[in-house]
Structure 1
Amino acid sequence: MNKLLQASDQSQSSQDVCFVNMPLSGLERPSIALGQLQALLTGAGISTKSIYANLWFAEYFGLELSRVLQTVPPEDALVDWLFGAAAFPDFSPDHDLYLALMEKKAPQLGRAGITSEILLDLRGKIQAFTDWTADKILRRSPRIVGCTSTFQQHVPALALLRRIKQIAPDVVTMLGGANCETTMGLTTHSHFTWVDYVVSGEADSFIVPFMQDVLDTGCEIEAEDLPFGVMGPIHRLAGYPVTDQGDGVPRAITQDARNLPLPDYDDYFEELRQFLYSSVIEPGLPMEFSRGCWWGAKSHCTFCGLNGGSMAYRARAPETVVPDMTALTSRYNVDRVEAVDNIMDLRYFKTVLPELTEREKPFRLFFETKANLKKDQVKALADAGVIWIQPGIESLDSRILTLMGKGCTAAQNIMLLKWCRQFGVRASWSIISHFPGEEDSWYETMAELVPALTHLQPGNMVPLRFDRYSPYFTRPQAYKLKLKPAERYRYAYPLSDEHLFRQVYFFENEADTDPADRPGVKSMRAAMTNWLKAWRNGPPPVLSMTATQEALVLEDSRPGGVTMLLTGLHRSVLELSDDGPSEHQVIKTLTETGHTEEEVLEVMAELEAQKFLIRIDGRIIGLALTAPHQPVPLPSAFPGGSIASGRDKLGTLLAAF
């Protein structure tokens, strides 16, 4: 074991409850799930400790490895597979076949020098890490050990709880989080018997009395005394509860989250101060201001599996948002706040944002938003310190957006990218491909747009993933789908096909005969790659306009662009197109000033050929920013925290010795 880690082990005071954040989860932020539960329990006098085993993992195996593993999509189940021997010692999947799949699915591992041999060796070392982690936790003499599980934390959590139960059978074990909702929680509880209690859904409303009952009676709680959504040992004998909602398995919902306390992140920051790589961590603070999705409650996006079985939007009162931000950021001396809400409350534009704008020292904020934000709304976000948004831009073709049920158009998405670049708000977005019912030619059309957009922030391109709870999952016949668990899960869990279907979150279309690299998709992927390269290989391209009395000066540093002067009708068309009006409105305005429709259309075509504007969805969008525009924040400025770039310097130093 790492001698540095041995040196850091000290005798610990005992706790009633230890909550554990297992790998793999972000090192640069605390767990809001554990922080909220700890605040509730501590406030009720139940001694509670949050354990950040994800930080221990990075110390144990090195920061660089931990960071590379974070780049692997959760449906590839790599971290679950790595912890498989520790969780399921009698399960022996075909490692060669799994690793061959991973070489194809995750080429970034090979580029980072992480070969199949290294991964197999790492899998063999996980048991020692799990044993060490369990021993370190048990030194606190906890009576309850619970893990949170999201994405690739599930098998690591099962491995740890199995070891805890082996060493200390009297310790009560628990598991909760997104991976435990409804049938996933039931399957976990019924198959992995070393987990005493599994919580399906939101535990805020009952966590205090439930934990007190467990402290008083251990595993002997009767079924009628368990909260709705909690599965306990009695259910393995008496049968599991059912409900007429969703998939038939109970899911707890906190109807009123307005009076929940602020999360307690003390243990994270205490651990971070001792973390070997603390010098490269810039932490962010996750905060929650609402649950559910007001748009999803109206129109559920076909691919979205968030919120389990409840889209009902439940928001905190706007007047509490800024005081809560102020209190939490002051407590930890951190000005970065990541709102973990699925979507921002629209009331904030009239309430929260003006209040934030008046602050002498702004926060650095992240919110998820809808993509149909207008120019003044993006400016309001920027003025309030919202430097980063995730707006749900998943396509630049309105026909595909209609298939998704997004409630916005390609024109609106492009306009949002323009205003984000104008006001210096960074946007995270992706093009998603392979939707049921789409046509490949639509991607060719999109690819033709991209060269005109390269001065705007690029996104990624990813294939569609089928998530549990999404309309694609709940109504597969309507979309001619036949879903099966993502292939890599077979190498992570010792379950039959039937039970694996109930256990996992990500799925594939078994009936898919669509080639992965259709010509249109391939063209769009190439266009997106070139767009990304334009931003990575030097200063980002610019297309901006400055109005003078004589002309409109266009500065164009996109590939092949030059500085130009526009006068007369050309200037008028571009200036009128700035806010993305309808093409009809621009023609009407200009013909009323003496121009013919033919003249206007001819100039529009010229400006479109020069990539100064685009015509889409019946709108005409001038692409030039108005000088001066604000710089876009660097990736390291992400409000949810960041890790400084560069190799694992300590690991390099130790290797040299």
Structure 2
Amino acid sequence: MHITLINMPWASIDFPSLALGILKRRVTDEFPADRVDVVHANLDYLDWITERVGLTRAEYEFCWSSYFTGYSEWIFSSALYDDPHWRDSEFADLVLGTVPEEMLAKGRALHALAPEYVADLVGRVLADGPDVVAFSTTFAQNSAVLAAARLVKHLAPHVTVVLGGGNCDGPQGAALHRGFPFVDFVCRGEGEVAFPQLLACVRDSADPSGVPGLCWRDAQGISHANPMSAAPLPPSALVMPDYTDYFEQHAAARAGSLAEPHLVVESSRGCWWGEKHHCTFCGLNGSFMEFRSKSPDRFVDELIEMTERHRVLNVAVADNILDMTYLRSAVPRLVEAGYDLRISYEIKSNMRREQLASLIEAGVHYVQPGIESLSGRVLGLMDKGVTGCQNVRMLRDAQSVGLGVVWNYLFGFPGETEEDYDPVIRQLPALQHLTPPSDVTRIAIERFSPYFNRPELGFGELRPAAHYAVIYDLPERDLHDMAYLFDAAHRGITAVCAERLQKAVDTWRGSHAHGRLTQCDLGDSVVLTNTRPGFEWRSLRVEGWELSAFRLLEHPRTPRVLTGKLRAQGHAVTDEDVSLLIARWHAHGLLFEDGGAIVHVVPLAANQDLMRWVTSENAPALVPALLSDDTPGDAPGDASVLRCWRERDAEACGRSGMRLGDVPYEPLAARTLARLTVLGARHVALPAPVLLPHGRGADARQTVQALTHVRELTGHGISVDWEVDLGPDIERWHLFSHLHPPRTVAGPQGDAIVGQWRAAFHMNKCGYRRGRGFIEINDHRHGTLRRVVMADPNEGKLSALLAGAPADGFRPQEIDAFLKAGLVHRAGSLLWWMPSRILRWPAVV
């Protein structure tokens, strides 16, 4: 047989389909003589539509992320019903005010062209002669999948059409099968076992009534739904996906220049928290909540094998929640592997700082901790098992260790009141240095959630979300069974209160890029630095019994417990002393309070604002002038040492204890960095200007030594005070724009160049990462992503170039290629590697 698996829009262009990768692996194992192809129509569609009406990455992502409005599904409903104007006006009326006008116009253009695209795609698929065409459908893919399935069956009735995926779970799959007769089979639930069994039935013309969860038709065309399996698959049955087709297509498609490809892996299925306390609004996991986890060694081995095979270091873990035992098993193994991974994971928000730090060491740089709210009472209504203070602690500690956090602020829960939101809104200015939510969103009622299954929780009269009736021409019963989203009367806070929350979060998001609040622990005191708007102070020193209180408030405590612990440490404090301190610290924006408990909101100093990639064209320069000429200790010093500080803020650096002294300026930057790491340096000044032009007094080895230190310090997130002479070709500053901006650039245009450099700088603008036997380079210096993967099995060439290598050790063709790509700088007879190693990742603001 020839089996074709198709991933339709609006699947993300960054990620392969985990479901189809798994199915390809399973089918290949079960039927080794058969041909299995995966068509990533999401990548194909982006190429196809760009040639006709244009579609930017941002517009594609809007379509991909607009599932809850129905916008993305409506676009392909025209192809499903073969009408380029299918319910145009009805849908426009429905989304008025929720979809931006320009995107509605774009959507109408895409809607009109959808039938043409589906016809083109299906024609190409059928020309390859498949026997079975199977579609995975999840969230916003449904109408596109059905449109393509309809045309496949119309043009080639002999081809078997199969659907599976998240949109086919439980009654949804049965409704799809009943409502669309051109679909031969629907696999419900986990498909690793059922789909190969179905293929065997198709091959042998056998009775499919024994395949668990399968929907099929008898000779009279009547739809039947086999009972779903009563138990989920064990961990041993979870196979490693095959993504060969995706990476081949991604490299050749327009997506290759727009998005970095990712591996999608799974270490577990289900949710261990949901088994005990199913969050009231969560509809994930469908029929199987039971938590199952792969053995840690197997997961790590598979992950490393896939990165090596596909030469990709970005990894999205599809799990609903991290298996906490992995912290003692898989995490140490990933640390030992030593590869520069960028992993995203979903975790629980009550993890401690040391646990978060271990994730960073293992390559987990982004987490979705399910924060959802900062009100303990509302979190209780969700059955989240955490408090508002714990969620704030997560945001604080994640910033301390450099961990990116993705979260959304939800509202609209039965039983919530304005009194739950007023104190949170009032305290948000104190949190403007921490990662803000992506948005403020009223909860949706999702199938499989407790709110859907248990009307006594507050949502009694549910009806399919309004957009389904505009997109699909189906009876009410089938719409109800097919829908994943449901409408109900709004619960919880008023629209006025929700608007206040939205405005407060918008202010948070707008201020976040430049607001800082950090602490430097000097042992006998802590120096705090603040640049948040709304708080006038710039630096504070905390000492004495107040220092003990500050350290105790790393974790949420009530004032009474705080007072008791202070007294137990020998501090003679009164209740009034503690009350006055808390009031003062609230006024300074150092605390967050929820449910009677208090936690401080000050992360450790780690140049956090360098980790914010400001994308707004009107945003001010992210990197301000740091140390002024009159900063204490900033006079020119010994040319053989680096001057070091614990902070990069001018006022904070002037406080006693903040200057770390001098560190030997050694030829080996790695040795220097080791010393700086132990000291806790966050700002370093080079001893002398860097002279780039050969023949203008520049010594090649000194130039390379200086550039190497700037590159390595930048890569480690340490700010650098340095001066540079670019020579007569001053415009070549763009090639060095990934390095921390200098204090000065020599020449008559120097001030203008410094301003442009600061405005354009962000971390990892041009950086490299190491994998097993390869190096990946990501270059944003020219305005678009340039991704290059180089084989380097012994790390030979790169290791030689890092500290400057003689040019005569390379072939002329190699040198020309490096210079043309802007990957090396030639200093006299030396070649110097320009990209910095990517060790920390910026958050897009």
**1:472 and 2:451 are equivalent in the alignment:** yes
Q: Deviations over 1:216-264 (max 9, x none)?
A: 32xxx4253x411111122874652465xxxxxx367542132443111
Q: Deviations over 1:96-133 (max 9, x none)?
A: 131133231122xx3xx3343x4333322111101100
Q: Which residue matches 1:31?
A: 17
Question: TM-score normalised to the size of structure 2?
Answer: 0.69
Would the alpha carbon gap of residues 434 and 260 (structure 1) be closer, same or farther in structure 2, given more than 3 Å must change?
A: closer
**1:544 and 2:518 are equivalent in the alignment:** yes
Which protein has greater RCO, CA pairs closer than 8 Å, 6+ apart?
1
Aligned-partner Cα distance in 2 for 1:257–1:560: 52
Which of 222, 238, 257 is the equivalent residue of 2:207?
222
Tell me by how many angstroms 1:578 deviates.
2.4
Task: Supply the AA of the counterpart residue of 1:401.
Answer: L
Aligned-partner Cα distance in 2 for 1:477–1:566: 51
Task: Supply the AA of the counterpart residue of 2:578.
Answer: V
**1:212 and 2:191 are equivalent in the alignment:** no
Tell me by how many angstroms 1:352 deviates.
0.9
Which of 505, 508, 530 is the equivalent residue of 1:531?
508
Q: Retained in 1: the 8 A contact 2:77–2:86?
A: no
Q: Retained in 2: the 8 A contact 1:551–1:565?
A: yes
Tell me by how many angstroms 1:199 deviates.
0.6
**1:327 and 2:327 are equivalent in the alignment:** no
Tell me by how many angstroms 1:525 deviates.
1.2
Task: Supply the AA of the counterpart residue of 2:502.
Answer: R
Moved more, 66-75 or 457-466: 66-75
Task: Supply the AA of the counterpart residue of 1:575.
Answer: R
Aligned-partner Cα distance in 2 for 1:648–1:129: 28
Aligned-partner Cα distance in 2 for 1:546–1:357: 27
Aligned-partner Cα distance in 2 for 1:235–1:472: 39
Q: Which residue matches 1:574?
A: 550
**1:496 and 2:484 are equivalent in the alignment:** no
Q: Retained in 2: the 8 A contact 1:455–1:558?
A: yes
Greater radius of gyration (CA): 2
Q: Which residue matches 1:5?
A: none
Aligned-partner Cα distance in 1 for 2:174–2:781: 41
Would the alpha carbon gap of residues 358 and 470 (structure 1) be closer, same or farther in structure 2, given more than 3 Å must change?
A: same
Tell me by how many angstroms 1:502 deviates.
0.8
Task: Supply the AA of the counterpart residue of 1:473.
Answer: F
Q: Which residue matches 1:240?
A: 224
**1:133 and 2:124 are equivalent in the alignment:** no
Q: Deviations over 1:281-332 (max 9, x none)?
A: 2111000111111110101110011111221111111221211110011110
Tell me by how many angstroms 1:18 deviates.
0.3
Q: Retained in 2: the 8 A contact 1:41–1:47?
A: no
Tell me by how many angstroms 1:402 deviates.
0.7
**1:114 and 2:103 are equivalent in the alignment:** yes
**1:70 and 2:61 are equivalent in the alignment:** yes
Aligned-partner Cα distance in 2 for 1:526–1:158: 40
Tell me by how many angstroms 1:398 deviates.
0.7
Would the alpha carbon gap of residues 100 and 279 (structure 1) be closer, same or farther in structure 2, given more than 3 Å must change?
A: same
Tell me by how many angstroms 1:90 deviates.
7.3
Would the alpha carbon gap of residues 65 and 51 (structure 1) be closer, same or farther in structure 2, given more than 3 Å must change?
A: same
Would the alpha carbon gap of residues 325 and 236 (structure 1) be closer, same or farther in structure 2, given more than 3 Å must change?
A: farther
Moved more, 87-96 or 617-626: 87-96
Q: Structure 1: state its 5+ residue gaps.
A: 1-14, 244-249, 650-657
Q: Deviations over 1:587-626 (max 9, x none)?
A: 1133342222211221121111211123333433122122
Count of residues in correspondence between the two structures: 613
**1:452 and 2:430 are equivalent in the alignment:** yes
Structure 1 residues 90-101: aligned runs within 5 Å: 94-101=87-94
Tell me by how many angstroms 1:483 deviates.
1.0
Q: Retained in 2: the 8 A contact 1:425–1:632?
A: no
Q: Retained in 2: the 8 A contact 1:181–1:251?
A: no
Aligned-partner Cα distance in 1 for 2:20–2:336: 32
Aligned-partner Cα distance in 2 for 1:347–1:262: 21
Which of 434, 456, 461 is the equivalent residue of 2:440?
461
Q: Which residue matches 1:263?
A: 241
**1:409 and 2:383 are equivalent in the alignment:** no
Q: Retained in 2: the 8 A contact 1:468–1:505?
A: yes
Q: Which residue matches 1:57?
A: 45
Tell me by how many angstroms 1:528 deviates.
0.6
Would the alpha carbon gap of residues 160 and 584 (structure 1) be closer, same or farther in structure 2, given more than 3 Å must change?
A: same
Structure 1 residues 211-610: aligned runs within 5 Å: 211-217=199-205, 221-224=206-209, 226-234=210-218, 237=221, 240-241=224-225, 243=227, 250=228, 254-459=232-437, 460-509=439-488, 511-512=489-490, 517-518=495-496, 520-535=497-512, 538-539=513-514, 541-548=515-522, 551-561=525-535, 562-591=538-567, 592-610=570-588
Q: Retained in 1: the 8 A contact 2:411–2:492?
A: no
Would the alpha carbon gap of residues 516 and 534 (structure 1) be closer, same or farther in structure 2, given more than 3 Å must change?
A: same
Q: Retained in 2: the 8 A contact 1:281–1:643?
A: no
Q: Deviations over 1:356-380 (max 9, x none)?
A: 1222223211111111111221111
Structure 1 residues 162-177: aligned runs within 5 Å: 162-177=150-165
DSSP 3-state at the match of 2:133:
strand
Aligned-partner Cα distance in 1 for 2:230–2:117: 33
Q: Deviations over 1:436-466 (max 9, x none)?
A: 1111221122101211111111112111100
Aligned-partner Cα distance in 2 for 1:165–1:239: 17
Would the alpha carbon gap of residues 516 and 646 (structure 1) be closer, same or farther in structure 2, given more than 3 Å must change?
A: farther
DSSP 3-state at the match of 2:246:
helix
Tell me by how many angstroms 1:557 deviates.
1.1
Tell me by how many angstroms 1:560 deviates.
3.4
Question: TM-score normalised to the size of structure 1?
Answer: 0.88
Moved more, 163-172 or 542-551: 542-551
Q: Which residue matches 1:7?
A: none
Q: Which residue matches 1:17?
A: 3
Which of 90, 99, 103 is the equivalent residue of 2:96?
103
DSSP 3-state at the match of 2:96:
helix
Q: Retained in 2: the 8 A contact 1:188–1:503?
A: yes
Q: Retained in 1: the 8 A contact 2:414–2:492?
A: no
Tell me by how many angstroms 1:65 deviates.
4.8
Aligned-partner Cα distance in 2 for 1:165–1:228: 24
Moved more, 434-443 or 474-483: 474-483
Tell me by how many angstroms 1:415 deviates.
0.6
- Percent identical residues: 28
Aligned-partner Cα distance in 1 for 2:509–2:304: 36
Would the alpha carbon gap of residues 93 and 276 (structure 1) be closer, same or farther in structure 2, given more than 3 Å must change?
A: closer
DSSP 3-state at the match of 1:358:
helix
Aligned-partner Cα distance in 2 for 1:233–1:35: 27
Q: Which residue matches 1:620?
A: 598
